[in-house]
């Protein structure tokens, strides 16, 4: 969407030129203004109000353009934003669809688009009516001043003619009386021409401003129409060439069926997206389980190697213990044999000693 700043700059430049011309002709305009200050002052007030209104007509398009740009970027934010004055009906119609759009492309029927454009066109025309009335009012005030001045002139001329005294015979006195009496008709002519000049000049200024404001509004309306045309779904009004048009209720039923089909297609699309997401999650879980299985397999192999090492160390220890026990058994058996032999020898020696003592004691 194009901002109306170009048209606003054009209007301000034109007003600057008018102000410059007014400054250059200030003395003459002041003299003309003094012929009828109340009426000319009212014409100036109407002109000032018309200038402000036309500038307002261009400036009020900026919120409309910002809202449309916001709607094109983010419909959800535009639905919650304050609706502009010109696009209020369109905002009320598009806001529910924008909230429930779920990121899909917004589509409108031809009747909806036509209704929104007609509403906007009527609002734009209504806003320009005051500007047109102000222009016509300035022309009317100029003509009113003209007729008012002419009435004053006619009345003054009648009074001057009626007050002339021809019978006195003094030509100089009669001309002096006529000269002094013509001041009032000249004042009336000044009132007529000054009011006409101010009224027509103001109408010329407001006419250019109204033309520029109308161009800005038409540019806005055309760009909005082009944007809505891209969102409009056109349905055929006839079954075929040469056949009768489809009744309104059948066309509404077909449009409703098309909307239901689009909703079903969106649901299927979301289901397909959910299935793809689930498949991706399953694939990710499978990869994680495979990685966990590889980790467990590595851990099991490490534990097996550790167990083998522990079994080898234990076997060696048991073998050493067995060897030690066998050696201890052999040493114990050898010690027992040696002890038994020493004990038998000691017993023999004891038996011999006892026998020897017994023989010594016998008589």
CB burial class (10 A; 0-12, 13-18, 19+) of residue 351? exposed
Q: Are residues 202 and 274 located together in one domain of the fold?
A: no
Question: Residue 181 in contact with residue 156, Cβ under 8 Å?
Answer: yes
Residue 243 has pLDDT above 50, yes or no: no
Per residue in 177-198, pLDDT tens?
555 655 555 556 767 777 888 8
Residue that terminates a domain, selected from 182, 211, 233: 233
Per residue in 323-337, pLDDT tens?
887 788 788 778 778
Q: Are residues 221 and 284 located together in one domain of the fold?
A: no
Question: Distance between CA atoms of 41 and 174, rounded to whole angstroms?
Answer: 38
Question: Distance between CA atoms of 302 and 297, rounded to whole angstroms?
Answer: 9
Token pair for 259:
């909307």
Label residue 16 by pLDDT band (50, 70, 90): very high
Count the domains in the chain: 2
Question: If you average pLDDT over residues 219-238, what whole number do you get?
Answer: 72
The closest alpha carbon to 46, from 123, 124, 140, belongs to 140
Q: Are residues 144 and 65 located together in one domain of the fold?
A: yes
| Cα of 30 vs its chain's centroid, Å | 52
Question: Residue 7 in contact with residue 212, Cβ under 8 Å?
Answer: yes
Please tell me the predicted confidence (pLDDT) of residue 235.
Answer: 54
Label residue 13 by pLDDT band (50, 70, 90): very high
Token pair for 330:
């052999």
Residue 170 has pLDDT above 90, yes or no: no
Token pair for 268:
């299927």
Residue 336 in any domain: the answer is yes
Q: Are residues 172 and 63 located together in one domain of the fold?
A: yes
Residue 249 in any domain: the answer is no
Per residue in 68-81, pLDDT tens?
787 777 777 766 77
Q: How many helices (H) and strands (E) does the chain have?
A: 10, 2
Q: Are residues 160 and 28 located together in one domain of the fold?
A: yes
Residue 219 in any domain: the answer is yes
Q: Are residues 272 and 192 located together in one domain of the fold?
A: no
Residue 65 in any domain: the answer is yes
Helices 26-33 + 37-59 axis angle, to 10 = 120
Residue 244 in any domain: the answer is no
Q: For the chain, what is the mean pLDDT?
A: 76
Residue 290 in any domain: the answer is yes
Containing structural domain, residue 44:
5-233
Q: Are residues 286 and 168 located together in one domain of the fold?
A: no
* Apex 340 CA angle, 335 and 343, nearest 5: 120
Q: Are residues 206 and 273 located together in one domain of the fold?
A: no
Residue that terminates a domain, selected from 216, 233, 250: 233
Question: Residue 144 in contact with residue 195, Cβ under 8 Å?
Answer: yes
Please tell me the predicted confidence (pLDDT) of residue 198.
Answer: 85
Residue that terminates a domain, selected from 212, 233, 254: 233
**Cα torsion 39, 55, 222, 70: sign:** negative
Q: Are residues 227 and 277 located together in one domain of the fold?
A: no
Residue 257 in any domain: the answer is no
């Amino acid at each position: 969407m194009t901002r109306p700043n170009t048209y606003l700059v054009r209007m301000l430049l034109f007003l600057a030129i008018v102000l410059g011309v007014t400054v250059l002709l200030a003395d003459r305009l002041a003299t003309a203004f003094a012929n009828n200050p109340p009426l000319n002052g009212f014409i100036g007030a109407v002109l000032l109000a018309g200038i402000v209104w036309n500038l307002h007509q261009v400036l009020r398009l900026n919120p409309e353009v910002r809202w449309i740009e916001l709607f094109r970027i983010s419909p959800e934010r535009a639905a919650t934003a304050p609706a502009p004055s010109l696009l209020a009906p369109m905002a009320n119609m598009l806001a529910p669809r924008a909230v429930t759009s779920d990121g899909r492309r917004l589509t409108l029927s031809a009747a909806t688009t036509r209704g929104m454009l007609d509403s906007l066109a009527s609002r734009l025309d209504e806003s320009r009516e005051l500007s047109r009335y102000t222009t016509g009012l300035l022309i009317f005030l100029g003509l009113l001043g003209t007729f008012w001045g002419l009435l004053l002139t006619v009345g003054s001329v009648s009074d001057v003619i009626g007050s002339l005294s021809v019978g006195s015979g003094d030509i100089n006195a009669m001309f002096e009386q006529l000269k002094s009496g013509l001041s009032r008709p000249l004042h009336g002519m000044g009132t007529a021409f000054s009011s006409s000049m101010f009224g027509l000049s103001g109408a010329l200024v407001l006419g250019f401003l109204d033309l520029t404001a109308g161009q800005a509004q038409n540019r806005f309306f055309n760009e909005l129409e082009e944007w809505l045309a891209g969102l409009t779904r056109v349905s055929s009004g006839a079954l075929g060439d040469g056949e009768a048009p489809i009744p309104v209720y059948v066309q509404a039923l077909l449009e409703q069926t098309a909307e239901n089909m689009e909703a079903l297609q969106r649901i299927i699309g979301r289901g397909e997206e959910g299935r793809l997401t689930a498949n991706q999650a399953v694939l990710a879980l499978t990869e994680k389980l495979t990685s966990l299985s590889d980790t467990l397999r590595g851990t099991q192999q490490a534990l097996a190697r550790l167990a083998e090492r522990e079994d080898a160390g234990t076997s060696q220890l048991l073998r050493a213990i067995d060897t030690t026990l066998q050696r201890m058994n052999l040493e114990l058996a050898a010690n027992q044999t040696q002890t038994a032999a020493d004990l038998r020898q000691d017993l023999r020696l004891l038996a011999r000693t006892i026998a020897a003592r017994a023989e010594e004691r016998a008589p």
